Structure 1
């Protein structure tokens, strides 16, 4: 069974839900966080928007070492910036979901911080983890939006806000 076509199809399907969720992020609440230990909405939404680029990173490198590759924060000032960044990240991620990369999906990929190794996994598992991270963080964003009384879009069917009760 080939995984690349499945990954591409899933990326395209999940992008529809991600777009709907990110489109609800209000410009005037980008610095809002529900708790002092929570990320500001800008940081959370930007992270969701950048996660498709992990596909490219996973398929074009052997590892991510936080010690030698410090995080480069994307500057987002408006929802329009956020949406454009997501579309750019999505296109980036799709560039490597090509049949030529099917053969490397079982090769190891490492996540580390210098000498501290967090994981060594086959590349296909790292891609799956990135997809799961998108879903996980979208759910977090849904909580932020709910607390701000912003209607939540449906993900795998209609949300309570889209239902007529």
Structure 2
């Protein structure tokens, strides 16, 4: 199997699951935090909505260095409306699909780096970074988001199996 085809299929599955979670986000709770050390709900929801767009970043650029001014546009910012979150998700998925469709296995084997604070935080083959820093990382934060949804009395969607609110 061509690696991009594997990632495109995974993109479709993860985009559908992410959309189900984002559709449940109640407006007006952006500053909610279940604990003082937790991230704010608005930031978390925007992060989850935009994470699939990181695939294009990893294919199109050789690195993301958050110390540089040209990286400012890649920082997550809370969005006030569910419609903005859904639009962010749609844009992220479209950009990821475009990048994956033009990628080759050879390019996906080349290194990609994430830098911050004058240090390389992580660097690996693009394919590994997409798998770990996008898909696995998204599952983690989407799981966090479902906990916040429960605490805010929203219905938790079935994602990898049924939830208490939604049977498959």
The question of a shared fold, defined as TM-score above 0.5 by the shorter chain, is answered with yes
Q: Gaps spanning 5+ residues in structure 2: where?
A: none
Instruction: From 133, 137, 162, give the equivalent of 2:137.
Output: 133
2:157 corresponds to 1:153: yes
Tell me what 1:44 maps to: 44
Distance 1:52 1:142, change over 3 A: same
In the alignment, which residue of structure 2 is the partner of 1:14? 14
Are 2:95 and 1:92 aligned?
yes
Query: In 2, distance between residues paired with 1:48 and 1:156?
Result: 16
SS of the residue corresponding to residue 110 of structure 1 reads: strand
Match of 2:124 among 121, 124, 130: 121
Runs of 4+ in 1 over 6 A off after TM superposition: none
Q: Distance in 2 between matches of 1:100 and 1:132?
A: 20
Residue 75 of structure 1, CA deviation: 5.2
1:59 and 1:101 in contact (8 A); partners too: no
Measured in 2, the distance between the counterparts of 1:43 and 1:76 equals 8
Answer yes or no: is the 8 Å Cα contact 2:43–2:78 preserved in 1.
no
Q: Over aligned residue pairs, what C-alpha RMSD do you find? A: 1.5
What's the counterpart of residue 56 of structure 1? 56
Does the 8 Å CA contact 2:25/2:149 hold for their aligned counterparts?
Answer: yes
2:3 maps to which residue? 3
Q: Would the aligned equivalents of 1:58 and 1:127 in 2 still touch at CA under 8 Å?
A: yes
Of 139, 146, 151, which residue of structure 2 is paired with 1:142? Answer: 146
Instruction: Give 1:99 shift.
Output: 5.2
Secondary structure of 2:154's partner?
A: coil
Q: State the SS of the aligned residue for 1:117.
A: strand
Which of 2-11 and 31-40 deviates more?
31-40
